[in-house]
Amino acid sequence: MLTHAANSEVASKFLAHGWSVRVEREPGENGGHRYHADLYRQDELKCRIALFGTFLDTEGAEEALWLRLRSWLTDYEVRPHSGDSGFQIL
């Protein structure tokens, strides 16, 4: 289930121009949900952040995702990029 798309107010709070995010939630254990977020730059997948465990509170889970996304994006923007390492699916 899509909870936030590239143009959402929450996503735009943390993402620089050219970046977008898609957050998905799936049913988990005990009535909770599992969450992951895909981060794109100019429509190219750059990162997937997954939360470990099941969250009963949507707001808490999404806040945890946004904090991790913001941290990853900050690190990405300051490190050197010397070539095309590409995103690899494990």
How do the domains of the chain map onto residue ranges?
2-78
Closest CA to 21 of 58, 73, 59, 60: 73
Residue 42 pLDDT: 84
- pLDDT profile of the chain (90 residues), mean per 10: 44 67 82 84 87 77 85 84 63
In single-letter form, the type of residue at position 65 comes to L
CATH 3.30.160 fits 2-78, yes or no: yes
Q: Say how far apart CA 88 and CA 66 lie, in whole Å.
A: 22
The reported pLDDT for the residue numbered 18 is 79
| 77 vs 69: CA distance, rounded Å | 12
For the chain, counts of helices (H) and of strands (E): 2, 4
Residue 77's pLDDT is: 81
